[in-house]
Chains A and B, each alone.
Chain A
Amino acid sequence: MSLPPLVEPASELSVDEVRRYSRHLIIPDVGMDGQKRLKNAKVLCVGAGGLGSPALLYLAAAGVGTLGIIDFDVVDESNLQRQIIHGQSDVGRPKAESAAASVREINPLIDVIVHNEALSNDNVMDIFSGYDLIVDGTDNFATRYMVNDAAVLLGKPYVWGSIYRFDGQASVFWAEHGPCYRCLYPEPPPPGMVPSCAEGGVLGVLCASIGSIQVNEAIKLIAGIGEPLVGRLMIYDALEMNYRSVKVRKDPECPLCGKNPTITELLDDYEAFCGAISEEAADATKDSTITATELKDLLDNGDIFLVDVREPNEYEIVNIPGATLIPKGEFLSGAALERLPQDKRVVLHCKSGARSAECLAIVKNAGFSDAAHLGGGVLAWINQIEPDKPAY
């Protein structure tokens, strides 16, 4: 299925633009017409992180005339392993501004719009309405469902990519011509079921593999060339080194883009739709969450059994002295319970407090009623007790 060009061509290219884009112009499929369409295109990249970094750099270099960047975060040292749009001297700087500076350096002939804010229910419709196409480089389910819903409601194509460790997925969602994200994944996973990159890690260069697919698809849609990735899911396995595609069907029962939609405006609360932690975990942590300072006192006095529920490789990076490693999987399977002492108070911790909250619900359910978890996880411990240790 080929689609007509998304964007009308600009009236002309300047001499500087002809020089700069000559390698595009001599490709017959792109040519002056395609490059003029790129010049007239307004593309918003949501997130200037792992996927946003290569996506923004290539969109800018390709001559997309108006490039929007939205990100609320600041550059952290742990970003630099993959977020190549930022450099060492950008640490601490807002990502949107740092990314804009790199983009302007790559291509001064385009307009860059900086949205140094979080995308939210209050601004998403307004911001999206100024663009022709949305490239998604966000890192959580709540924002992805919000981006999808807004894109469908506004009739915009949504170029989607997602990564985890060595696996990448990409597709183009455009309800007018095919399925939307909800047709592919009707519901987000319950909290704790699917780890984020912050919990599970990601191979830095995977971002480039998937981000470049997204730019490739954005360019094709804008110029109206080739076979767009509408109705197909591209699956990349970096370890096996293969790309496979499967069909994505438009779900006639989709609550958003199906025949009888029940979602006709944005949800009130996407965080709640995706759940930061499960209800059971939230209940378990009530009055059972301790601070790093409290943990230090408890450890100094002896009488607790501290359990690190992270993975062994995370334990190796940094750990709290005296902690016993029992990964979360062993709590899910139940095997962990017999390793817990009956005569000591059990305290759980993970990286930032989400996984330990899920485990706490299991432990309390098994009768360890005085069990607790460390709010903020090992990151809070490093921050408050052992600042010389590395955060990750």
Chain B
Amino acid sequence: MSSISVRIPTILRSYTGGEAEVKATGSTVREVVADLDANYSGIAARILDDNGKIRRFVNVYVGEEDVRFADGLDTPTPDGAQISIIPAVAGG
């Protein structure tokens, strides 16, 4: 099992008790999101839609790469990888 650090955007920190970065395990993005939800119940539903796909206004990056342009939820997450969850915000 890879150990992954996950960056949590402000908007989702209510699920992580205010933590900006949390640890998770999993060898793909899908597994990491499932592991996140096991520890922070409800967070997966903010990232994935009802069909289990990544929501179109949320981007998930492994390192610098947007997983939409890799293998989506099946994108591998090597040990020590950093995942960033970046939702669209519109404030200005």
Contact = CB atoms under 8 A, between A and B. Distances in A.
Interface of A: 47, 49-52, 136-141, 144, 161-167, 169, 184-189, 193-197, 200, 202, 233, 235, 237, 239-240, 244-249, 251, 329, 333
Contact of A246 (B14, B64, B89): B64
Among A167, A195, A249, residue most surrounded by chain B Cβ atoms (within 10 Å): A167
Nearest to B87: A194
14 contacts: A52-B92, A137-B92, A139-B92, A144-B90, A161-B92, A166-B10, A184-B59, A187-B56, A189-B87, A235-B84, A246-B59, A246-B64, A246-B84, A251-B68
Interface in B55-92: 55-57, 59, 61, 64-66, 68-69, 84, 86-92
B52 interface: no
Contacts, number: 97
Contact of A163 (B42, B56, B91): B91
A244 B91 contact: no
A141 B90 contact: yes
B40 to A, nearest CB: 13
B62 to A, nearest CB: 10
Given A139-B92, A166-B10, A188-B88, 18 more contacts: A52-B92, A136-B92, A139-B91, A141-B90, A163-B89, A165-B10, A167-B11, A169-B86, A189-B55, A189-B87, A200-B11, A200-B91, A235-B86, A239-B20, A246-B64, A246-B86, A247-B64, A329-B14
Contacts of B87: 189, 194
A188 B91 contact: no
Contacts of A51: 92
Contact of B20 (A196, A237, A247, A248): A237
Contacts of A239: 10, 20
A256 to B, nearest CB: 14
A9 B9 CA distance: 42
Enumerate the 9 nearest inter-chain pairs by beta-carbon distance, A residue then B residue, closest first.
Answer: A197-B91, A187-B56, A164-B89, A189-B57, A185-B88, A139-B92, A51-B92, A163-B91, A141-B90
Contact of A194 (B56, B84, B89, B92): B89
Given A164-B11, A165-B10, A246 B91 contact: no
B92 to A, nearest CB: 4
Contacts of A200: 11, 91
Contacts of A162: 88-92
Nearest to B55: A189
A167 B89 contact: yes
Nearest to B90: A141
A164 B84 contact: no
Interface string B1-26: 00000000111001000001000000
B7 to A, nearest CB: 8
A257 to B, nearest CB: 15
A247 B91 contact: no
A297 to B, nearest CB: 36
Contacts of B68: 251
Given A161-B92, A169-B86, A237-B20, A185 B11 contact: no
A247 B65 CA distance: 6
Contacts of B69: 249, 251
A251 B87 CA distance: 18
B90 A196 contact: yes
A164 B91 contact: yes
Contact of B57 (A137, A194, A233): A194
Contacts of A186: 56-57
